Structure 1
Amino acid sequence: MKKNIRFTIFSLLLSSLVISQNNAIVIDGAFIVIDGGTTARNIVLVVDQNNTNGIVRTSSGGFIHSESQYNYIKWNVGNNTGSYVFPFGIRTNAADYIPFTFNKSTTNNTDVFLSTWATDPLNLPKPTATNVGPVTNMFGTADSVVLAIDRFWDIQTATLTTADITFSYRGVENTTTNPANNFLAQHWNGTSWDPQVGPGNPGVTTGIGTVGPVLGQNTFSPWVLTTCVESINNQNISICQGDSVLLGGNYQNTSGTYNDTIFGGNKFGCDSIITTTLTVNPVPTIAQTVAICQGDSVLLAGSYQVLAGTYYDTLQTSLSCDSIVATMLVTNPVPTTNQNLSICAGDSILLGGNYQNTNGTYNDTLQTILGCDSILITVLTINPVPITNQNFSICQGDSILLGGSYQSSAGTYNDTLQTVFGCDSILQNILIINPIQTINQSATICQGDSILLSGNYQTTAGNYNDTLQNINGCDSILITNLIVNPKPSSPIISGNDSICKGDSLFLTATGSGAGIINWYSDNQGNNIIVTSNSLTIGQLLGGTHVYYFSETLNGCSSNIDSIIVYVSEVTAQTSPSPTSGTSPLNVQFFNNSVNANSYFWDFGTGDTSTVFEPNHTYNIEGSYDVMLIATDGICYDTIIVTINVAGTSTLIIPTIFTPNGDNNNDIFTVKSENIIAIKGKIFNRWGQLLYEWNNINGGWNGRTDAEVEVPDGTYFFIIEAEGSDNKNYLEKGTLTLIR
């Protein structure tokens, strides 16, 4: 059971400070409640034992409930050092233990004056003035709902003291927007919040969270825990056009604003955001053109240049970027121009300062529009007046324009033309007249076929004309005499088209008598079996076989016809049941024959039957061969099976025998019929085994197994036997031996 201990403090009305003083406090499962403090009237629980055992919390738990800026614990720590634990908690829940640790590291004489309290999400109530000014705002956002834990600590020391401090808070007091961020401590300096101090600890929303130890603190006043806040740095960078810089995760070469996040980059593990404004300064390029005459030079790109091309000179702009002057140098040639001129024989032309009328090369010096010399070299050609011979040929009946008229007769005709050089040219033309040819030919087709003649496919006999063109380009008349040969009729087939398996096939084809008979294995006539009027195939297997045939006469073939040959395969099969036994033996003959429709049975007794599956009874002992003949009316097959019939077994045992050597009744034997096994044993009257045998022909000769003759008297036998009819015998009795 938890105990609640409430200290009630009495004071004078004029007093502004109520003090309850204790040398040491031991908390053993109880809650100590400090309550009632106000701005004007503080409540103080004083611990006057200066070592760290001034407040002892046992394993039974418990804590001090304060929850107001004006309900203080004052610990007179003196000049001692060590870890002083203030066991704060919330009395509504024994698990809400939120200790504050003040680990003093200096030996100065002081006391520690401490209170803590929870706030609402707007961080109210804020601390009022203590040893610094009152808190008027929160870190970052006013009344930082999104950044601060909902709890304050008011820490005061009497003298300047250095200590490591560790804070505790309830997870439900973490109402920030990023509750899992790192949290750090912040100190109010009287007018504003100092920078966050750490190390940072991850936030919790359940249970108890901690921040610290925050090392080496010597300024104590109101404290709060705030979430890790990003560091934002702004910078301006400029580059020259064509350069690049790594910003925003990529190399950038255009002006703009780029953000880079360094995750956990500051000393508390918070993100650092660097915002960079990038300016890209242009690299101006100035283009100019300079022209010189071939053989001159100009200073470009640091040297005197004589060759045409583009030369670059680099200057620097006021922004420290390059400025490129691109000079295109044009070297104007001192051109040498070659030209060819031609005149007709007898004409002349002004070249080289004179009129020329002979072949040769002549030079003239001129000036170009660029002010450079120009050499004009002229090659003069004197063109003759040519005479050209040519041949023409036309077809008989045509004409051609020669000698100024249309000519249709062979001969030579002259024309005067102008050459490509503008000179006269004499053209002598020889005309040849080519004749028109007539060709006769014959063509033969089979009845039902066609051939392309006279522009159409022809199927009837007659003469057909086609006009072609010969090698001279003249018409050629082709006269074709078409002959149509009749197609022979299909041959008539004779022979047996139904045979038995294993027989040979004989077929005969009768055609016109003048043609050739072909037998095929396929209906397209691609595979010839034989060329003959007859077809013979031996040892055919059962089933259906198709053979194809046609007759060829005068190059024409009849339609491919076919004949179907049926090969019967009859199989006689029977499975009698039973196949052996004793008489009278009734046997059921089951019929398993294939492809048969008629049956003949011979039972081996002189009896026969034509029933499909007959019964037959065998009354006499013996072995019988049964024959089945199965047929389909054309082919047949035979099978023979054996039926074994045995008689009834019998056993006769004598009761007296006389083994006196007269060869009459000297051996005691068992007489039997249809017995297949006998075992016998002989005993005396005292049950002693004298003799035994185990074969069908065995017996007793009146002696023991040791060949000792036994006396006359009565003896006992046990006979075991098995008949061929599966009958078993066990006979016991007496027999008399008399010599």
Structure 2
Amino acid sequence: MPYTWNGQTITVAGTYTAHLTSVGGCDSIATLALVVNASINTSQNVSTCQTSVVLPDGSIATSSGVYKSMFKNSAGCDSIVTTTVTFVPSPDLVINNPVATCASATTDLTSASITAGSSQGLAFTYWQDSAATIPLVNPANVGSGTYYIKATSSGGCFVIKPVIVTQALQPALVITNPPTTCVGSTVDLTDKTVTAGSSAGLTYTYWADAAAQNKLANARAVSVAGTYYIKATNAAGCSLVLPVKVTITSSPSIVVTNPASACMGSKVDLTAAYITGGSDPGLDYSYWQDRLATLPIADPGAVSSPGTYYIKAKAQGSCFTIMPVEVAFNQAPTAVFNGDQSICQNANAQLTISLTGNVPWNITYTDGANTYTIKNITTPSYTLTVSPAITTTFTILSVSDAACSNATPSSATVTVTPGVPGVRYPTVSTYAFEPVQLSARNLGSEYSYNWAPPAGLDFTTIRNPMFNYGLSTQYYVTLTPPSGCVTVDTVLVTIKNPQDTGLVVGLWVPKAWTPNNDGMNDILYPITIHIRQIVYFRVFDRWGQLMYETNVLGQGWNGVYKGRPQVSDVYTWTVEAIGDDNSVIRKAGNSILLR
């Protein structure tokens, strides 16, 4: 369709007429009964992994596209078959042959590294033949050979490619056990003789176990007998582990007892039997300065220097043992006076002695006339208290400590300066507030003066002060030379005023006293004016210990406590008294005991 008939274009079936004129000029009518037979038109889709497709009309398509094939049907009408051809690309399969393994190892063909770089989404199967008809039973565990991997895409297309598995040769490892050695020596497992005869170019490592998990700390110096393991690895990474036996025979048993510490200057005999007592019998001993026994001791029977030495005990055969022995020397103790001293007569000297060594110490010393020993001194500084009557040199004759003794002398001289005895001046009488000059002894221009108490005096540090006061007062005059050995004089100043009926009450305690039994200023007591009763008079040492107490007028302390004269020092006193006018007087102060 369309159909042309007698000048008519007909597009549908039906009956058609045509008026015609014949050659004779006559009209004629032609009738057409047109029947239209149906044509056959079909379509198909072809998707293939092949490289070409045969179309219905017998032609060949080699690329994707739409193809039309023309046919005549049984009615003689044209028919069209439309074919849509789609060529599906084959999957891209990349094969990376695995790294060669050692003979005892297997290869996993399913490892992703073998097909790395292939198309995504492929399904892999593994085969023994190139046609993929004989499957691999266990592709994850194969030995050397050629195998095949089939990669199938989601569209059903596939590619088959070979994969080659290779295996390297195992190294040849030959082990020769090292020679037997002695305890105290070491075995070098890295020595070439141990692996002589093995394959060339091997790398050796050394282990404590057959699984090669615990590496030897020092394969060059194995000191314990036993079975160890050597692992040999070739360039291909293949390895072999074999045992190696280390045999160490027992060394002689030596017992070393360090000699007792000796005093410096003496000698120690290292050959003495007690030093190696308890060792194996029959040993041959030698004596050395170093632990390798290469430097012998010149005279092991007379070692005079401290340090670590070594005794080598050798048994029959070649085995030996070397043990250290410690030689120690104690420094000789010392006792040294720290210097000379100067004291006043009847005073004590404190001589300090410095000690070195180990506690306890014993010291023997002399004063030139007698020898004395002080035992069990436990501190490195000792104070020796002496009271020589005259200048005396004290000498330490010897000192000993817990280990040694020493007779190196040390001396200190105590210079005794005799003091001038104190005197009592004649009593001075004057009227109240009528100036009168007092005068101390002139013992020399180098002496200094101090008057106490200061009440009523214009100056207290001159030899001739002026008295101007309304109370009777007793003064103590301290005369001090450059040596420091003081002299204390006394003078009483009384107030005479017979017309004065007023009652003056007073009490005073001297600033110092000298209990040397010379009859002057030997007792510390309150000096009183119009006092009818002493309630108490107490004297304390610097630590608060009560040394003396009285409530009797005119009585005082002579410097003796529990039968022992006390040292020169500052003492504290307190006093309470009642005056003739019934007033209460309480005072406290300090006084110096001078000897």
Larger radius of gyration: 1
Q: Same fold (TM over 0.5)?
A: no
Q: Which has the higher strand share?
A: 1
TM-score normalised per structure 1: 0.23
TM-score normalised per structure 2: 0.27
